[in-house]
Structure 1
């Protein structure tokens, strides 16, 4: 098992030890702990980290290509091929005149020069045990090695920027899920208040009906409304359960594991003004940075392709031994240099350069489009964040107005002046105003988070825990969160 694998397993056990003491009981998990677990276990981030490991290996590979390549070869041969036999004897420094058929040469014999010597044409088989140590060093590659190095380093930087982007995306997902649980809890609180109001209405209408003040249809209508509110309460409970399941998925935690959340989280507006934010985003947004590094990598690929148009020069040093038995009897060395230049290849190298340049142009177009969209995204997120803040203030006033209206209409109905329809309508407006307030509060966090994400600044430093919030165990009694 590798050190990195052991480290990941250790981190995983540590995360579970911090969060969970056992399957039967759950510890309080605040947002920072939730993000920490998500960053350790999210499969998307693990995939990005694997890409970084690949890029680092690519850099090491490109650096290694600039160093000498040293190979060692050991071989054993037995042959009776005339050419190879004579060559092996020369390599073993054991060739003799008799290997040329000198014993068969007799000047007194007519036509002696036309006699084929047996020792040369039909030699006996020979053995050869050879060893070779060879070093090759590229001296000039037309910029190929430099291009590989530039490409590898740029891909590493792109992968690191991608890792940063993935981390911020995970924080955004964790925030959405974490805040979604609190939003669902707040909806449960709204439903609980609506249930209390509906039950009070049934009691009041029942009392008035028994006094003969109202007709039976009013009582039946109030009871039907109560059942509708109970259904809404169940829907709110299901919404909270679904939000909690979503949080489990983001954290990579089994759905059966109990989780209780700590304080709520408030997202702060980034410092400065919108005009300056765009410039900051262009400098810090990790997705933009990743695209820029990819363009640099594409430029390295252009250099690699262009190098095929230039000569390649390399040096060679080789040491050989050859022996008829196991040993190192005959030594030899070779030192040299070689220049290779492809003079004509049918335009293959030139087309490769054009292809690489076209790929770089495509990335530049994507970068320009992404930069333009980023500016629009920041402006849009800022407007929505401001609108959500203003809407929150409006919703607070709407709740106060609806509460007062419901109080007045309920009193009028109790005095026999108003109608049940008016009272139920006023209560419905109050319920809606409370729900809208909850949604507005959620939108403040989400739009601010979207703004920080676009700027490349969505981290824990811009997130503040809201103290003195009701525990998750008392979700049904939770009140509407205060204004951030």
Structure 2
């Protein structure tokens, strides 16, 4: 893959500016990786490490609900005994034995119910955390994708402006040499060309940063060659939103409610020691 780069700098440019342009316009050997919005959403939902961690936390919390229900089931224990009396002087021989015991708790001071309620509340906390992480990743993905799309278009636009300004400069130069243009117009056109070159340079420098932000949202380790090929869809918000309902659906609010329920269940667990227990 060959990439042709052109640096439009006048001969009077200073060395620092020339070096900066050379660094910003280094060709990358990696091929371009075009990705549309739907593909970016699908990749982020499966590869983002923060989202995967939140899902694992929710699965663990759901498993702890089943573990908390263990108090409702009987406890079974079994044992095997072997005794070797072959060296005994009175009754030589061997003895075998097996035993099994089953117990069922009938009442534990409401501790079992409280443990299930606490585990369910903690699962709700993990579910709210997952929703919050999804919202954060969605925002980061939209921002990164739109930023990369904007920077790409800015590079194309500044390149067109730079080419047009070059043509204008050549025309003004010819008119100046023919005595039909003043020196002020020539200097102004040169300054405009330098400004367009700087704008193009800044746009190119912004591409690696925008690619890195998008790669982070996608869960990629290598941002090289990423290109956004379409726009982020926009939906109209409702005209008359129900703010109380929307506020109650905020993940932080639901998380706080679940934490309150878990704390109440913890109080009931601690109070269970004041009640008698009954086993069968």
Q: CA deviation at 1:155?
A: 1.6
Residues 283, 256 of structure 1: CA spacing in aligned structure 2 closer, same or farther, 3 A cutoff? closer
Q: CA deviation at 1:256?
A: 5.9
Alignment counterpart, residue 251 of structure 2, candidates 277, 286, 291:
286
Alignment counterpart, residue 295 of structure 1, candidates 260, 267, 276:
260
Match status 1:33 vs 2:31: no
Question: In the alignment, what sits opposite 1:69?
Answer: 75
Residues 76 and 103, structure 2, Cα contact 8 Å, conserved in 1? yes
Question: In the alignment, what sits opposite 1:85?
Answer: none
Residues 161 and 286, structure 1, Cα contact 8 Å, conserved in 2? yes
Segment of structure 1 superposing worse, 202-211 or 62-71: 202-211
Alignment counterpart, residue 181 of structure 1, candidates 138, 148, 165:
148
C-alpha distance in structure 1 between counterparts of 2:184 and 2:232, whole Å: 47
Q: Return the index of the structure with the highest Cα Rg.
A: 1
Segment of structure 1 superposing worse, 36-45 or 285-294: 285-294
C-alpha distance in structure 2 between counterparts of 1:245 and 1:277, whole Å: 38
Residues 169 and 190, structure 2, Cα contact 8 Å, conserved in 1? yes
Residues 286, 189 of structure 1: CA spacing in aligned structure 2 closer, same or farther, 3 A cutoff? same
C-alpha distance in structure 1 between counterparts of 2:268 and 2:253, whole Å: 23
Tell me, which stretches of 5 or more residues in structure 2 are unaligned?
Answer: 1-28
Aligned pairs for 1:407-422 (under 5 A) are none
Match status 1:238 vs 2:205: yes
Aligned pairs for 1:86-235 (under 5 A) are 129-216=96-183, 218-235=185-202
C-alpha distance in structure 2 between counterparts of 1:131 and 1:249, whole Å: 60
- State the SS of the aligned residue for 1:192: helix
Residues 249 and 255, structure 1, Cα contact 8 Å, conserved in 2? no
Structure 1 length-normalised TM:
0.46
- State the SS of the aligned residue for 1:142: coil
C-alpha distance in structure 1 between counterparts of 2:202 and 2:170, whole Å: 24
Q: Give the aligned length.
A: 248
C-alpha distance in structure 1 between counterparts of 2:30 and 2:56, whole Å: 35
- State the SS of the aligned residue for 2:256: helix
Structure 2 length-normalised TM:
0.76
C-alpha distance in structure 1 between counterparts of 2:32 and 2:165, whole Å: 34
Match status 1:307 vs 2:235: no
Return the structure number with greater relative CO, CA threshold 8 A, min gap 6: 2
Question: In the alignment, what sits opposite 1:461?
Answer: none
Aligned pairs for 1:325-364 (under 5 A) are none
Q: CA deviation at 1:124?
A: 9.4
C-alpha distance in structure 2 between counterparts of 1:59 and 1:304, whole Å: 15
C-alpha distance in structure 1 between counterparts of 2:187 and 2:275, whole Å: 93
Q: CA deviation at 1:48?
A: 0.9
C-alpha distance in structure 1 between counterparts of 2:255 and 2:32, whole Å: 40
- State the SS of the aligned residue for 1:266: coil
- State the SS of the aligned residue for 2:271: helix
Q: How large is the RMSD of aligned CA atoms in angstroms?
A: 3.0
